[in-house]
Amino acid sequence: MTDFDPARLAAVLSPLRRTLLASTRASANLPDIPDAQIEIVRALPRGVVRSPGELAERLGLGRSTVSNLLTVMTDRGLVTRRPNAHDLRRVEVAATARALALFERFDATSAALMAAAAADLGPAERARLADALPALERLRDILDARRHDGVGDPAAQRRGDPAAQRRGDPAAQRRGDPAAQRRGDPAAQRRGDPAAQRRGDPAAQRRGDPAAQRRGDPAARRRGDPAPHLSRSRKEAE
């Protein structure tokens, strides 16, 4: 039995998809629709409406990204946006009849192209492809679920995990880690580090450093530095 090679599978699937997409567009004379817009129409099958927020969550996109996509797609006649009949604050998005017709043509043409290409394979190869389809569908569902859970996505990890936030976000590090606060925040340095206090705070310098007291505080000079007393004594003798 041949060992499973995930790198080889990934290297095959992406070019296969691009080739099929380009061939289908050319064969059916379909417009060039960007992948992100295709994903939105796929998330809006006939009879289904979703809010922009639901689309963003389903597709793993930012709300502002989805909003911009919907604006372009509305202008191109691919989706409609309308207020919810029961809640005017809620917007409902649906694919237009034109978009659904385009994708029905795409699906029919791509299936025909795939059938024609598979006809050039031998019976045993076609049987192996048929046997692999359930596993490929299951693999697709697993990857989709992991994407929605943020598995393998550093940005999603930081959004949902305070510890990961501190590991990947300097500002969060300083908020959650006293040592990091002192390393990255001058004010925190002075609060938590006596040496830093004297370096960055003139008042603290005079409180904690005898030399600084004499340099910066006339009264401290008189209290802690014999030199001013000697100087005053010499002047009195003159």
Q: Count Cβ atoms within 10 A of the Cβ of residue 128 and give its class: 0-12 exposed, 13-18 middle, 19 or more buried.
A: exposed
Looking at the structure, tell me whether residues 10 and 114 fall in a common domain: yes
pLDDT at 225 over 80: no
**Closest C-alpha to 94, from 104, 81, 105, 84:** 81
15 and 114 co-located in one domain: yes
Beta bridge partners of 83: 91
> Do 38 and 113 belong to one domain?
yes
**Residues 201 and 113 grouped into a single domain:** no
**Count of domains forming the chain:** 2
Which domain does 93 fall in, by range? 6-118
User: Is position 129 within any domain?
Assistant: no
Across residues 132-150, what is the average pLDDT?
89
Domain end residue (candidates: 103, 118, 133): 118
Supply the pLDDT for residue 147.
Answer: 80
The verdict on residue 183 lying in a domain is: yes
Q: Choose one of 89, 118, 147: the last residue of a domain.
A: 118
Confidence of residue 3 (pLDDT cuts 50, 70, 90): confident
pTM (two decimals): 0.58
Residue identified by tokens 């080889």 is 8
Nearest CA-CA partner of 153 in 43, 62, 55, 41 = 62
Q: What percent of the chain has pLDDT over 90?
A: 53
Question: Residue 14's pLDDT band (boundaries 50, 70, 90)?
Answer: very high
For the cut 80, the answer to whether the pLDDT of residue 101 exceeds it is yes
pLDDT digits (tens, 9 = 90+) for 163-219: 444 444 555 445 555 554 555 555 555 555 555 455 555 555 555 555 555 555 555
- Residue with the larger pLDDT of the pair 146 and 238: 146
Are residues 13 and 106 part of one domain? yes
The answer to whether residue 212 is domain-embedded is: yes
Asked, for residue 29, whether it belongs to a domain, the answer is yes
The CATH number covering residue 80 comes to 1.10.10.10
pLDDT of residue 76: 95
Report the pLDDT value the prediction gives residue 42, as an integer from 0 to 100.
94
Domain contains 152 = no
Same domain, yes or no: 18 and 80: yes
User: Residues of the chain with pLDDT > 70: what percent?
Assistant: 62
Q: Which of 118, 135, 152 is the last residue of a domain?
A: 118
Q: Do 88 and 16 reside in the same domain of the chain?
A: yes
Mean pLDDT value of segment 76-94: 91
Q: In this structure, is residue 145 part of a structural domain?
A: no
Residue 123 domain-assigned? no
The mean pLDDT of the chain is 78
Is it the case that residue 92 has pLDDT exceeding 90?
A: yes
Mark whether 189 and 95 lie in a shared domain.
no
Residue 45 maps to a domain: yes
Residues 111 and 214 in one domain: no
With 90 as the cut, is the pLDDT of residue 155 above it? no
Residue with the bigger pLDDT between 81 and 165: it is 81
